[in-house]
Structure 1
Amino acid sequence: MMKTLKIGDATVQILKEYGNVNDSILFINVHEDETTSIETVYEYAKISPVHFVRLKHKETRRIDFNLRNKAYSIDPNRIFTKKGRRKTLRDGGKFSFKAAKSVKVFADSLLLHLNDVTVVIAMHNNTDVNYSIKSYLPGGDEAKNTDQVYVNPEMDPDDFIYTTELDFYLKLKDKNINVILQDNKRFVNDGSLSVYCGVNGIPYINIEAQKGHFEEQLELIKAVLSIL
C-alpha cells in the first residue's frame, strides 16, 4: 500500500509493506539511506509478517523541497514537535512559518499510522563515527536525554536499543544487550519520534545498528520481539 504526500514541491511516498497492517506493533523507518535497517525488516518478514511503514523519497536522509521559490531542507526524524520543525528547517538553511506549516501537515499524516499501535519500533543505522551508545554516557552528546544506560562491553557500541519504557529497558538489560532508557521528563526537545512518543505515552523502541551490521540488527529485532 502506498500513499503519496507533498511537502512544497517534493513528493514523498509512505509505503506500507509486508502486510500485517492489523498488528499493533509498528515498525517504522524515516531515513531511506539507512538501508541495513530496512533490509533487516524485510528479512525478518520472511519469518513472520510485520506491520512496516517507511518513507521513500530520494534515498537520502534529509528531504529537500521548494516552497514559494525558496529552498528548504528537513530531517524527517526531527519534525514531530513545533520546536523540532523550527530547528531542522534552520539547520537546513532556512526557516519560514509557511514551510513549518507544510512540514507539520506531513508530520501529522505520518503520525496517523501510530493510531491503535501499542509499540512503535523505529529502525535506524549509524556510521562508525561520533554516535554510539557511548554518546549517552555522562559527558556524551546525548547524556541529557538519558535516564539509565547499560553497556555490554562485549557488544559493538554502535549496536544498541533505545527505549522510552522502563520495563523494556530492564528486560533488555537482563538479556545483556546495550540499551538506553530515555528521560521522558528532561529530554532535549529535538522533534524526534522518540520525543513525541515519550510525551504522548506511546511505548517506543529504536533498534540502532551500524550500517552494514545486518546480522547484528536482525538479532536485535528478534530480541526486542521476544520481550513484547
Structure 2
Amino acid sequence: MRIFLIEDDQEISERLVSGLEALGYVVDHADNGPDAYVIGKDENFDAVILDLGLPGMEGLEVLRRWRADGVQLPVLVLTARGMWSEKVEGLNAGADDYITKPFHIPEVDARLKALIRRNSGLATPVFTNGNVSLDTANGRVTLDGKPVDMTARELRMLNYFMHRLGRIIPQAELTEHLYTLDESRESNTIEVYVSRLRRKLGADIIKTVRGMGYRMDERK
C-alpha cells in the first residue's frame, strides 16, 4: 500500500518511514503544507498520515482544501493536539481517524489498514479469492491452505489486486503503488512481478488485458 506521510518533525518522520517501510508500505513524505496539498491532490495514495502543525499551511487547511477539491483519500490525523475539541475539528474537516503523539507503529499500522479496508468496502483483514488467501494484518499468504513465501514487493502487488478484484489496473498505477516518487523504476518491473505472482499462485491468477493493464478476477 502506498502511504503519504505529512510531518515536519524529522525524527518522527524518520521513525514512521522506517517503521512503515519495514511493514511493507511504500511511503512518500512531505514536510510542509503547500507541498502536501499539491502532492496529495495530484498523486494517487491509499491513505494519508497528516500532522496538523505544518509550516506554510496548517494541516487542517490542507485537509479542507483536499475535500473541497474532491480528494477522497482516507486521512489519519497524527498530532500532539489531544483535546477532544481539536479532534472534533479535525474529523469535521474531513479526517477519517485520529491518533495523538506519542504513538506506537503497530497502532498506526492497524489504523491505516482499517482505513484502507473501509475505503475499499471491506471489513475483515483476511482477503480470500478462490484458493488464495491474504491476511493483511500479518502479511501471510496461503494457497490451498499452505503458506506461500512472498517478497515485500510481491506482497504489495498482491495486496493491491486483492483490494480491487475485477478492476483493470493500468501498469502505471501499479508502478505508483510499488515505488516511492524518489525510487528508480525500470520499464519491465511490473511484468516481472506479475510473472512471479503467477508462478507462485497460478498462471491464471492475474489476467493481462492487452493495451489496458492487468486484472484479478473474483474466483469462487
**TM-score tier after normalising by the smaller chain length:** under 0.3
TM-score by length of 2: 0.27
The higher-RCO structure (CA 8 Å, 6+ apart) is 1
- The structure with the largest helix share of the pair is 2
Superposition TM-score, scaled by structure 1 size: 0.27
